[in-house]
Amino acid sequence: MCLLAQGLAGADRQGRDEAAVLIQGGRVTALGSEALAAGAPRRELPGLWLAPAPLDAHVHLHLGGTVADNLEASRKAGLAAVRDLGHDPKLDMPGSKAGQTPLVVASGPGLGAAGEGSSWLAEKLSGPRDFADAAIQRVSAGAKVIKLFASGLLDFERPGQVQHPMVISQDEMRTAVKKAHDAGLLVAAHASGQATVQAALACGVDCIEHGFFLDRDLLEAMAKLGVYWSPTLAPVLSHARDPEGRYDDATRQRLREIARQQAAQIKRGEELGVKLLLGSDAGAYGLDHGSAAFEEMAAWLDAGVAPGTVFQAATSRAARALGLAQELGGIFSGARAWLLATAGDPRQNPMLLQKPVWRGF
């Protein structure tokens, strides 16, 4: 089939005459004049823009429902892939099912502290040897990313602070990073607060997850090192909305303040050239799988981040960070044909990806 649209978002070459995409066997096989020349049956999508389906780089499929239900919600929302970053060690690692969307890039249980500030989404470990063994175990269990829990959770009582600032040592972090990199995997670290993020960068971590309470120097360092940053604003906004009434007014006010600070830092990170990565923390309190990715997008747009940056963070950049750049995140020969058609250019308005007019998968 050859799709004919008004424009392509997420293709190397743009322009009206290029807005033709040949699809064979579930893959994009040619673009533009080459696609037209193949003589395949044509499907006209007049006035629409073709775009790759977005990805969510930070979810917890075991939270907020069953893995099957959460994958189904992600599929319905049109996500091409999700990165699952940590779960209770007693549970099984979620995986991709053949022929189904979304693809799952999973870490298995995180690697975390045994003592204060330990996370229930991580295995409790102590000492570099433990971390090395756990990283090797994840690799052999089929993990596609290694997740470290380097700091505790945000302190809702004291905005600007993290409960248990740094909970694993640099030696532990460095050892796990080495084993992950030896196996060709990236390392994503749950890390907030200056000292922890600085240590994570020094240890060669590839993705900073959350990264609350960073200053300009650290954002500059992240930009210079080319480290990804998934700032997860949606979960803080969701906690602040507090749909189940867990908090008092003062706590909700503090949460709004944390969200306001993070929004400003995301905008600053964009200006400094930090590789922003769209991750929602879906499964966290009040954040449904699938729709959470669009809540994260909307929060960045509210923060003043350019629509094109948001689009890139959810498509081509996310695909690179998830190790899926050869098949997702863009419209190119060899890509999976998981395409959406939107009423306008999603690089100008990425929220259009939430309400595609046509969907090819």
Interface residue list for Zn ion (CB under 5 A): 281
Q: Which of 53, 52, 48 is nearest to 19 (CA)?
A: 48
Distance CA 108, CA 139 (A): 10
CB 4, min distance to Zn ion, A: 41
CB 256, min distance to Zn ion, A: 20
CB 338, min distance to Zn ion, A: 24
Which residue sits closest to Zn ion, CB atoms considered?
281
Does residue 287 contact residue 44 with C-beta atoms inside 8 Å?
A: no
Q: What would the two tokens of residue 241 be? A: 């909305």
**CA torsion, points 56, 62, 68, 72, in degrees to nearest 10?**
-30
CB 81, min distance to Zn ion, A: 16
CB 204, min distance to Zn ion, A: 21
Distance CA 289, CA 63 (A): 9
Main-chain dihedrals φ then ψ at residue 310, nearest 5 degrees: -65, -45
In the bound state with Zn ion, the residue whose beta carbon lies nearer, of 153 and 298, is 153
Instruction: Kindly list the strands in the beta sheet with 55-59, ordered across the sheet, starting from the edge strand earlier in the chain.
Output: 55-59, 81-84, 103-106
In the bound state with Zn ion, the residue whose beta carbon lies nearer, of 206 and 281, is 281
Sign of the four-CA dihedral 232, 289, 61, 253: positive
| Residue 115, number of CB atoms within 10 A of its CB | 10
Beta strands in the chain (DSSP E): 2-8, 20-24, 27-31, 42-52, 55-59, 81-84, 103-106, 110-113, 122-125, 145-149, 186-191, 207-210, 228-230, 275-276, 339-342, 358-359
CB-neighbour burial class of residue 36 (10 A; exposed 0-12, middle 13-18, buried 19+):
middle
Distance CA 149, CA 128 (A): 14
CB 112, min distance to Zn ion, A: 12
Q: Which of 169, 300, 170 is nearest to 236 (CA)?
A: 300
CB 224, min distance to Zn ion, A: 26
Q: Kindly report the CA angle at 270 between 317 and 357, in degrees rounded to 5? A: 50
In the bound state with Zn ion, the residue whose beta carbon lies nearer, of 129 and 246, is 246
CB 285, min distance to Zn ion, A: 11
CB 154, min distance to Zn ion, A: 12
In the bound state with Zn ion, the residue whose beta carbon lies nearer, of 281 and 327, is 281
Instruction: Kindly list the strands in the beta sheet with 339-342, ordered across the sheet, starting from the edge strand earlier in the chain.
Output: 27-31, 20-24, 2-8, 42-52, 339-342, 358-359
CB 298, min distance to Zn ion, A: 19
In the bound state with Zn ion, the residue whose beta carbon lies nearer, of 270 and 281, is 281
Distance CA 314, CA 292 (A): 12
In the bound state with Zn ion, the residue whose beta carbon lies nearer, of 153 and 357, is 153
